[in-house]
Structure 1
Amino acid sequence: MKFQTILVVDANVMGSLACIRSLGRAGHRIIATSESSRAIGFYSRFTDVSLVQPTYSPASSFVEWLDRLIEQYNIDCIIPTEGLLLAIRPWITIYQRLIPIPQGQEEMYRAFSKFDLFSAFLVPYINNRLNLHIPPTALVTPSATMLDTLKSHEGPYYLKADAIYAKNEPSSLVSKFFTLADIASVVPEHLKQYSRFIVQSHVKGQGVGVFLLRWQGTVLAQFMHLRLHEVPWDGGVSSLRRSWWHEKIYQDAIARVNFLNWNGVSMFEYRWDSSTDDFFSSN
């Protein structure tokens, strides 16, 4: 096995820390970077070099720093985050050889967009199975808001905008509204900030996560959890969970990952109603 020098950016987040630990334990040399000088990944015994990275904006300045870093430390591989991939998007062809994601550019960046994912899942003639177990969803663009599709569904409603479609600073957004009238009133302003976004109505149930490792079209590993506590409490990230299994949810996730043709690690979120055994893909 050839040991490599691996750059792990955004070492302040837990996902990057997990990569540092796993790759470092395997014997690779880890270069960890973060905008924060106190990033948790800097304190791992598996980190060989800790560096404060510049902000992703302006992207041109960040790319200049990245080029110097790659040359100075002879980087073999970059473990990317959404922030990094958005920053280097205009130059992605230069760096793609260092990024361990086998997908093409279109497939890779689609993974960072709720709008693109739900647009694909909602197309009726692509795969009828993918149209099922989807929350009531309106696709909002400058030419069509489609909010009328949510009139028969109760609130609250969630406006979800992707960093990839931000017109200025690349940041994502999730905002909660109690009426469609409230959402309609802010659509023009949000379209000044994002070229497109989705609005979804609330679906009840507990949070479920399906985790898959798929490579060359084959699922090599899988795991599922049921969320017991979330932050915030009415829907968010898991703060307490337990391993769990639901075969129909698993098969739904398999259908979606196969449709997306995603190779690597993926995670699908669901809401499961224990009273009806119904479920909805939420992310």
Structure 2
Amino acid sequence: MPSTTILITDGEQRAALAVVRSLGRAGYRVDVCSTRGRSLAGASRHARCEFAVPDPLHEPSHFAEAVAGHCRDRAVDVLLPIAEPALLALLQARDSLAPVRIPFPSLGRFRAISDKEALTEAAARLGIRVPEQRVLHAPAEAERQMDSFRFPLVLKPARSVGEAGGQRLKVGVRYAMDPGALRRELSQLPAQAFPLLLQQRVVGPGVGIFLLRWQGRRVATFAHRRLREKPPSGGVSVYRESIPADPALVELSEALLAAFDWDGVAMVEYKIEEATGTPYLMEVNGRFWGSLQLAVDAGVDFPRLLVECALGREPRPCSEYRSGVRSRWWWGDFDHLLARMRRSADALALPPGAPGRGRVLRDFLTLWKPGDHSEVFRFADPVPALRESIDWLRRR
């Protein structure tokens, strides 16, 4: 193990930092690349080196060439892409990276599970509830159906990284509270956003089921619930808590991953409808997720387990962990606070029952309570938090 070298991409991502810390503590040699060269994960004391690479979103082939060159020069054994653009680029170039191990399925399977239209169809066949939805292949299709829509609607591109005319673009989720808002949003969307899912909004807490499957067996299980998000209407979690994994949701999630013949890590995200308690599938991310550090803190070390699988070992299955562990991404939580203080609930498209500004401020000022962990700052590894703080202030 001491001679095993791991390369982590997307060093600017918090998930990359969690992976670097996990594998560094386990005794692996860890290298980090990013588009900037100086990154969050690269600042960790567990990173042996960090270097700059082309942007995988806009220059996928040049990015893959740079990664392949480093793998040859530094005798990399395992390559762990973190973000979706890096995964798309490296899975496309997998043959040129051999014999480096990339513990993810084929490009075809990754594309299939990342396609929300195909995913919701597969889920429905398995009896998994999905929000009521329509699929648009062009903006003009909405006008013909406008009278039948039930607002508010969530506008969700079928793919997070869309492609059109040979160009890739990251496209996010939007909200439309009425027909006028829907027309405005559709007029602003690029071609890469289509096909576009128009989903009925599900109001309720977000729950994630996190799994590692390898060669048809479940190696690790974890679950958390979202407490606060950025943006406040719904996005990445900035404060979240480990919870016992609901056996029924775990079974449904594993069946869904098995339908795509999935090997590797995955996050299966649900919304639990407040009025009925019914879980609705939101999406599946077939990669490491932003709040990965929480799982590690609670006792499920997904990065170490995935690398052991990649190296041909058989790690002991892990499904026991501590509930009530909370993880706070401080700067993300501060962004949540700023958004709530500066903009109205309507402007933010908040769901009914969202806490008022006074409650939001009180919650933020509760800087720590038993069970809380800082996601980025660690006394034993403080430099990433310093680098993140400098970057946040520069953006302001």
Q: TM-score, normalised by structure 1?
A: 0.84
Q: What does residue 59 of structure 1 align with?
A: 60
Distance 1:251 1:268 in 2: 11
Kindly state the Cα deviation for residue 21 of structure 1 after the two structures are TM-superposed: 1.4
Distance 1:179 1:63 in 2: 43
Question: Kindly tell me: are residues 154 and 143 of structure 1, through their superposed partners in 2, closer, same or farther at Cα, counting changes over 3 Å?
Answer: closer
Question: Could you say which structure has the greater relative contact order, defined with CA pairs below 8 angstroms and 6 or more residues apart?
Answer: 2
Distance 1:119 1:189 in 2: 27
Choose 70-79 or 185-194, whichever is displaced more: 185-194
Distance 1:114 1:244 in 2: 26
The AA in structure 2 aligned to 1:282 is: M
Question: What is the count of residue pairs matched by the alignment?
Answer: 277
Unaligned runs of 5+ in 1: none
- Note if contact 1:160-1:198 (Cα within 8 Å) is conserved in structure 2: yes
- Note if contact 2:34-2:52 (Cα within 8 Å) is conserved in structure 1: yes
- Superposed CA RMSD in Å reads 2.9
1:151 pairs with 148, 163, 168, which one? 148
Kindly state the Cα deviation for residue 152 of structure 1 after the two structures are TM-superposed: 5.2
Q: What does residue 18 of structure 1 align with?
A: 18
Kindly state the Cα deviation for residue 247 of structure 1 after the two structures are TM-superposed: 3.5
The AA in structure 2 aligned to 1:79 is: L
Q: Following superposition of structure 1 onto structure 2, how do residues 223-262 of structure 1 map, counting pairs within 5 Å?
A: 223-245=222-244, 246-262=246-262
The AA in structure 2 aligned to 1:60 is: S
Choose 7-16 or 193-202, whichever is displaced more: 193-202
Distance 1:119 1:145 in 2: 20
Distance 2:111 2:277 in 1: 33
1:204 match: secondary structure: coil
Q: Are 1:203 and 2:202 matched, yes or no?
A: yes
Question: Kindly tell me: are residues 96 and 106 of structure 1, through their superposed partners in 2, closer, same or farther at Cα, counting changes over 3 Å?
Answer: farther
Kindly state the Cα deviation for residue 188 of structure 1 after the two structures are TM-superposed: 7.4
Kindly state the Cα deviation for residue 158 of structure 1 after the two structures are TM-superposed: 2.0
Question: Kindly tell me: are residues 8 and 233 of structure 1, through their superposed partners in 2, closer, same or farther at Cα, counting changes over 3 Å?
Answer: same
1:129 match: secondary structure: coil
Question: Kindly tell me: are residues 119 and 149 of structure 1, through their superposed partners in 2, closer, same or farther at Cα, counting changes over 3 Å?
Answer: farther
Choose 187-196 or 171-180, whichever is displaced more: 187-196
- Note if contact 1:160-1:175 (Cα within 8 Å) is conserved in structure 2: no
- Note if contact 1:24-1:47 (Cα within 8 Å) is conserved in structure 2: yes
Unaligned runs of 5+ in 2: 284-396
Kindly state the Cα deviation for residue 134 of structure 1 after the two structures are TM-superposed: 0.2
1:55 match: secondary structure: coil
Kindly state the Cα deviation for residue 32 of structure 1 after the two structures are TM-superposed: 0.7
Q: Are 1:49 and 2:49 matched, yes or no?
A: yes
Report % sequence identity.
26
Distance 1:269 1:45 in 2: 32
Distance 2:98 2:85 in 1: 15
Question: Kindly tell me: are residues 119 and 277 of structure 1, through their superposed partners in 2, closer, same or farther at Cα, counting changes over 3 Å?
Answer: closer
Distance 1:264 1:96 in 2: 18
1:111 match: secondary structure: helix
Kindly state the Cα deviation for residue 204 of structure 1 after the two structures are TM-superposed: 0.9
Q: What does residue 72 of structure 1 align with?
A: 73
Distance 1:99 1:172 in 2: 30
Q: What does residue 165 of structure 1 align with?
A: 162
Deviations 1:126-145 (A, max 9, x none): x3414xx1011222335995
Deviations 1:10-55 (A, max 9, x none): 1111111111112222222111111224311112111111112222
1:135 pairs with 131, 137, 141, which one? 131
Q: Which runs of 4+ in 1 moved over 6 A?
A: none
- Note if contact 2:228-2:237 (Cα within 8 Å) is conserved in structure 1: yes
Q: What does residue 92 of structure 1 align with?
A: 94
Question: Kindly tell me: are residues 77 and 199 of structure 1, through their superposed partners in 2, closer, same or farther at Cα, counting changes over 3 Å?
Answer: same
Question: Kindly tell me: are residues 231 and 77 of structure 1, through their superposed partners in 2, closer, same or farther at Cα, counting changes over 3 Å?
Answer: same
The AA in structure 2 aligned to 1:193 is: Q
Distance 2:76 2:262 in 1: 25
Structure with higher strand content:
1
Kindly state the Cα deviation for residue 274 of structure 1 after the two structures are TM-superposed: 4.1
Distance 1:180 1:236 in 2: 23
- Note if contact 1:9-1:33 (Cα within 8 Å) is conserved in structure 2: yes
Question: Kindly tell me: are residues 154 and 96 of structure 1, through their superposed partners in 2, closer, same or farther at Cα, counting changes over 3 Å?
Answer: farther
